[in-house]
């Protein structure tokens, strides 16, 4: 299949991205480059200098809302992508509204509590919508430990499922980028199978 | 009873058990996890009341901070 055909197919779909940090920003850019039609991105944070070790933002964007900066960065890489943004703290009540109509949802949070909340909410309240989550990506090296695991048709997990982020084991661009792109890769795979 | 736990067969002496009991028996200690029984997600406030039966397919994943 040619890229022009892939792009035409992917243009029909809408992908939700919960969080616009290291995972969300890198995943959004990868999906935009492939030509996914619509991205729905939700985050309430602003860009800090410390984010630039892994997140897809630039020094002149420090202080901006991540959603606004990411919309700008997506437009700079592929202006054909339609980007809908929400400055919301996501919870079990607003997730079904914000991501309604999405064909796939990417879990792109930093905290384990939020990851669990999002997966639970989508699985319980948005039956049938696949979630592509990430767990275990802190530190460096050990690329071979990073895997993807399909639990069933509606739940996928990417990461080593063991490296927890901490002060002594920070998240860094290479492993976060691997996992974010792995998530994007699964999203593309799911969408390519959809009619 | 026998269950499939993350695609591996596991045998327990108990004839049935709650999710909380299984977590205790297996000494699973991580706090943040997702559990699905026969492809249905079980909310974390239902771990005490949800019973695992012989032949069930149980999938579990740990959620680690970082992203």
* Position A184 confidence tier, pLDDT thresholds 50, 70, 90: very high
- The model's pLDDT over A107-122, given as tens digits with 9 standing for 90+, comes to 999 999 999 999 999 9
Contacts of B32 in chain A (CB under 8 A): 112-113, 115-116
* Position A162 confidence tier, pLDDT thresholds 50, 70, 90: very high
- The model's pLDDT over B10-25, given as tens digits with 9 standing for 90+, comes to 999 999 999 999 999 9
Span A61-88, mean pLDDT?
Answer: 98
Judged against a pLDDT cut of 90, whether residue B30 lies above it is answered with no
- The answer to whether B67 contacts A21, with C-beta atoms less than 8 Å apart, is yes
What does the block give as tokens for A18?
A: 């919960």
- Number of structural domains (chain A) is 1
Judged against a pLDDT cut of 80, whether residue A177 lies above it is answered with yes
CA-based torsion, A89, A108, A80, A192: positive or negative: negative
- The answer to whether A137 contacts B36, with C-beta atoms less than 8 Å apart, is no
Tell me how many degrees the CA angle B41-A23-A136 measures, rounded to the nearest 5: 60
- The answer to whether A110 contacts B67, with C-beta atoms less than 8 Å apart, is yes
Note the pTM of the prediction, 2 decimals.
0.96
* Position B38 confidence tier, pLDDT thresholds 50, 70, 90: very high
What is the predicted pLDDT for the residue at B29? 76
* Distance (Å, whole) CA B41 – CA B64: 18
- Quote the ipTM score: 0.93
Strand partners for B34: B61
Answer whether A135 touches B (CB < 8 Å).
yes
Strand partners for A75: none
What is the predicted pLDDT for the residue at A63? 98
Span A168-172, mean pLDDT?
Answer: 97
Nearest CA in chain A to B46: A120
Q: Which domain holds residue A148?
A: 3-193
Answer whether A42 touches B (CB < 8 Å).
no
Span A64-88, mean pLDDT?
Answer: 98
Q: What is the CATH number of the domain that holds A119?
A: 3.40.50.720
What is the predicted pLDDT for the residue at B28? 85
What is the predicted pLDDT for the residue at B31? 78
* Distance (Å, whole) CA A180 – CA A190: 15
Contacts of A171 in chain B (CB under 8 A): 66-67
Contacts of A133 in chain B (CB under 8 A): 61, 63
- Contacting residues for B63 by C-beta, under 8 A, at least 6 apart: A112, A115, A116, A119, A133, A135, B32, B33, B34
User: What's the whole-number average pLDDT of chain A?
Assistant: 98
Contacts of B31 in chain A (CB under 8 A): 112
Domains of chain B, CATH where assigned:
2-62 (3.10.20.30)
What is the predicted pLDDT for the residue at A120? 97
* Position A147 confidence tier, pLDDT thresholds 50, 70, 90: very high
What is the predicted pLDDT for the residue at A83? 98
Residue A116: name the closest of B14, B43, B13, B51 by CA.
B43
What is the predicted pLDDT for the residue at A45? 97
What is the predicted pLDDT for the residue at B27? 87
């Amino acid at each position: 299949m040619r890229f022009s055909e892939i792009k035409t197919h992917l243009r029909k779909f809408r992908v939700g991205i919960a969080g616009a940090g290291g995972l969300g920003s890198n995943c959004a850019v990868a999906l935009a480059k492939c030509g996914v039609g619509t991205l729905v991105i939700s985050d309430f944070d602003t860009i800090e200098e410390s984010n630039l070790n892994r997140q897809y933002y630039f020094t002149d964007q420090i202080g901006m809302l991540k959603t606004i900066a990411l919309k700008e960065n997506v437009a700079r890489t592929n202006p054909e992508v339609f980007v809908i943004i929400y400055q919301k703290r996501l919870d079990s009540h607003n997730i079904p509204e914000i991501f309604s109509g999405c064909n796939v949802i990417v879990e792109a949070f930093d905290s384990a509590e939020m990851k669990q909340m999002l997966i639970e909410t989508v699985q319980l309240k948005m039956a049938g919508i696949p979630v592509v989550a990430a767990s275990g990506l802190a530190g460096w090296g050990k690329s071979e430990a990073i895997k993807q695991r399909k639990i069933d048709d509606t739940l996928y997990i990417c990461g080593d499922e063991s490296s927890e982020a901490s002060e002594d084991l920070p998240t860094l661009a290479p492993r976060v980028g691997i996992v974010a792109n792995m998530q994007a890769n699964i999203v593309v795979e799911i969408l390519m199978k959809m009619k | 009873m026998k269950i499939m736990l993350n695609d591996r067969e596991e045998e327990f002496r108990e004839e049935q058990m709650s999710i909380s009991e299984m977590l205790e028996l297996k000494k699973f200690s991580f706090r943040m996890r997702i559990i699905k029984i026969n492809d249905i997600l079980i909310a974390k406030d239902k771990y005490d009341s949800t019973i695992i039966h012989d032949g069930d397919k149980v999938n579990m994943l740990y959620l680690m901070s970082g992203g």
